[in-house]
Copies of this chain bind each other. A is one copy, B any other.
Amino acid sequence: MRGYGLNRVRVGSLSSKGNDPISPEPGGGAGDWRNMSSPVAFLFDLDGTLVDSVYNHVRAWHVALREQGLELSVWRIHRKIGMSGGLFTAQLQRELRRSIDEDGLKRLRDRHADLFRELSKDVPPLPGAVDLLKELTKQGLPWAIATSGRMRTAEMNLKSLEVDPQKATVITRDMVRYAKPDPDLFVEAAKQLGTATQGSYVIGDSIWDMYAAKRCGALGIGFLSGGYGKDELERAGAMRVFDDPADMLVHLDELAPRTRE
């Protein structure tokens, strides 16, 4: 029997043969590699991971907040990008020590979405993003995109990535109950790919991706391309940290990306 390496999926090993298929739900058999026999998936965050849009989100939130008289330092907004919108606004109110009613929150969210779309007319993919997805497809490796954003804000980014949400697996905020750092987006993505999060890779630029990875037994891979520091991502659980998709593509073989038959 081979050792317990990066790629923790074992196909047809003695002990797993004939066992029930693994549940894709978080917590299902975490840590027991003998029970894992589903293919390893590559589950990507979108903003700051595949497209260079984090700083546009930061600016859109900052302008939307200031328009409503809400002053929050820009770096504090930056560090919240990628978390669930509900948690974002809850933490916002806690930090500003004032409450915002449901109408105010809706205005904020709508204004952010409008400003973001305005800023993102020609947001480029991050270096290597298109090539990385193509390489995974070419190798027959399952991949999906799972974003805390709604389809309304995600669709322009998907277009710049040359990803058709009708053909690829794309999970948005609209499709699950809870967004990051809850793992639902990644769990749903794995489910649609016919595999499990357990032992799969979650690739993202923010600590919210890394926390969500931990919660569903996935292995976190961090990218610096969203503007976090390496150490922030590692402390949040990233097993590896790369600059961006181009850097991950160079190191892809180190992730043991083997297809399962």
Residues of A in contact (CB 8 Å), total 25
Which residues on B sit within 8 Å (CB–CB) of A62? 55
Contacts of A55 in B (CB 8 A): 55, 58-59, 62, 74-75, 78
Measured between beta carbons, the chain B residues less than 8 angstroms from A59 are 55, 59
**Distance in Å from the Cβ of A181 to the closest Cβ of chain B?**
18
Residue numbers of A with Cβ under 8 A of B are 48, 52, 54-55, 58-59, 62, 71, 73-75, 78, 124, 126-127, 224-232, 244
19 further contact pairs, Cβ within 8 A, besides A75-B226, A229-B231: A55-B55, A55-B58, A55-B59, A55-B75, A59-B59, A71-B124, A73-B127, A73-B225, A73-B244, A74-B227, A75-B224, A75-B225, A75-B227, A78-B227, A228-B229, A229-B230, A229-B232, A230-B232, A231-B232
* Bound Cα distance A35, B17 (Å): 75
Bound-complex Cα distance A244 to B127 (A): 32
Interface of A is mostly: helix
Assess the B52–A73 pair: CB atoms within 8 A.
yes
- Chain B residues with CB under 8 Å of A227's CB are 74-75, 78, 227
Least CB separation from A205: chain B residue? B75
The answer for the CA separation of A165 and B74 in the assembled complex, in Å, is 26
Q: Which residue of B lies closest to A56 (CB)?
A: B74
CB-CB under 8 A from A124, the residues of chain B are 71
Ordered by A's residue number, 30 sampled pairs between the chains whose C-beta atoms are within 8 Å are A48-B75, A52-B73, A54-B74, A54-B75, A55-B55, A55-B58, A55-B59, A55-B62, A55-B75, A55-B78, A59-B59, A71-B124, A73-B126, A73-B127, A73-B225, A73-B244, A74-B227, A75-B224, A75-B225, A75-B226, A75-B227, A227-B227, A229-B229, A229-B230, A229-B231, A229-B232, A230-B231, A230-B232, A231-B231, A231-B232
